[in-house]
Amino acid sequence: MAHLILLESSPVMLAPWHSLSAHVLGNGNSPFEVANGKDVWSYAELNPGHSKLINDAMACDARVAVSAIIEGCSEVFDGLKSLVDVGGGNGTSLGMLVKAFPWIHGVNFDLPHVIATAPKVDGIEHIGGNMFECVPKADAAFLMKLLHDWDDEECIKILKKCREAIPRDRGKIIIVRSVIEEDKDDKLEFVRLMLDMVMMAHTSKGRERTLKQWEYLLGEAGFTRFNVKRIRAVQSVIEAYV
């Protein structure tokens, strides 16, 4: 939790909240870009200190979610020999999964400047690249805390690259992200508002999604079926198949 607080309370992340009018007035730039001169990913690439804050915070959050996945639905990893973590950061999530399921060969895939600082871990191969261009081959693609940063068109592009990376006959993707119900009494209703506000401040197009919106993205990306499994966390686990 400390790493997440350090990130969100840093001047770089606080400044966009004072520029929310940029988004409301629709000038085309995210509040983060207005406040810091570049989008959140370009800024992190040029500022190693801030990049480390992001990676440490994401690793802290990942530990909670992955622990819940291992505890609540470990069966999603049955039969997998390889797993590529798309946008895997410093490899914390994948390291936990490979330790829990040692028969899996892990591929940690992220931008080159992120991979450059990722520690070596037995059973994990680090690969740098651009997920909009190509995703390394594996039995399954793992996407956690990733797709909420992008709009529908960009998410579909990412999902299509993941579909190309997995075997057509037995491959799948595993998405760990919030699935917001449309009922007024949904327990995540106020969490969704908070998360959407964070996305508004720090990205230009990010959002949380309902089940219908996930169904649309997956269908447009060429996945024919999917299921959702609730875990002991804000996030759910979505398994999608070609």
Residue-wise pLDDT tens digits, 102-156: 999 999 999 998 999 899 999 999 999 999 999 999 999 999 988 988 899 999 9
Smallest CA-to-CA distance from 137 within 93, 83, 76, 87 is with 83
Query: DSSP readout, the chain?
Result: -HHHHHHHTSHHHHGGGGGHHHHHTT-SS-HHHHHHSS-HHHHHHH-HHHHHHHHHHHHHHHHHHHHHHHHHHGGGGTT-SEEEEET-TTSHHHHHHHHHSTTPEEEEEE-HHHHTTPPP-TTEEEEE--TTT-----SEEEEES-GGGS-HHHHHHHHHHHHHHS-TTT-EEEEEE-EE--STT-TTHHHHHHHHHHHHHH-SS---EEHHHHHHHHHHTT--EEEEEE-SSS-EEEEEE-
Smallest CA-to-CA distance from 136 within 114, 172, 109 is with 109
Q: Which pLDDT score, from 0 to 100, does residue 27 have?
A: 65
Residue count of the chain = 242
Contact 4, 62 (CB under 8 A): no
The count of C-alpha atoms lying within 13 angstroms of the C-alpha of 145, restricted to the half-sphere facing its C-beta, is 20
Residue 216 clears pLDDT 80, i.e. is over it: yes
Contact 38, 204 (CB under 8 A): no
Q: Which pLDDT score, from 0 to 100, does residue 122 have?
A: 92
72-86, 130-144, 149-163, 182-196: least confident range = 182-196
Dihedral of the alpha carbons of 161, 239, 187, 8, in degrees to the nearest 10: -40
Task: Please indicate whether residue 148 is annotated as part of the active site.
Answer: yes
Q: Which pLDDT score, from 0 to 100, does residue 187 have?
A: 61
Give the span between the Cα atoms of 110 and 210, in whole angstroms: 26
Q: Which pLDDT score, from 0 to 100, does residue 175 have?
A: 97
Annotated active-site residue in 3, 105, 113, 148? 148
Contact 37, 43 (CB under 8 A): yes
Q: Which pLDDT score, from 0 to 100, does residue 63 have?
A: 81
What are the two backbone dihedrals, phi and then psi, of residue 43, each rounded to the nearest 5 degrees? -65, -45
Domain span at residue 231 reads 2-241
Total domains in the fold of the chain: 1
Q: CATH number of the domain that 58 lies in?
A: 3.40.50.150
Give the span between the Cα atoms of 41 and 205, in whole angstroms: 13
